[in-house]
Amino acid sequence: MMVDVLSPVAGQRQAVSEMPDPVFATGLVGPGAAIVPLPGRQSAVSPIDGTLSKVFPHAYLVVSDRGPAVLVHLGIDTVQLHGDGFTSLAAEHQWVHAGQAIVSWDPAEVERTGRSAMCAVVVLDCPYPAVPLQEWGEHVEASEPLFSIEC
């Protein structure tokens, strides 16, 4: 089954191998993409339709009824911020639509703490590579198609 995954934030699309975290960059978490987010407060949105299985201030997991689960991780080492600068806009176990706002945050605030604001968007438990829907390096808006994947 081919699944289109939307970009959770606005910014520049990158290959997941560009993530400054080896766990994401080597594909250990799963295939996907990275996004260098635009500065300024923005809402991170759901990349697929599904159930919001987990919500942390800096990350969330959406599980589709049709198979894949997509993890969105906002920045690197942002768990160490203990939620500072992040506001949850949706609740765990809530059904969400692709493009629905999940977390409000400001990538520039993350960078002011010395951390990378680069976001990971990865599909869990899927052995196939992500296929970009446009060239890596191009700008993408939140809710625009980011990549397709067959799971």
Which helix (H) or strand (E) segment is 35 a member of?
strand 32-37
Both structure tokens of 45: 């949105």
Whole-number Å distance between alpha carbons of 143 and 39 = 17
Whole-number Å distance between alpha carbons of 46 and 85 = 19
Structural contact between residues 81 and 110, judged by C-beta atoms closer than 8 angstroms: yes
Catalytic residues: 73
Tokens 């520039």 correspond to 108
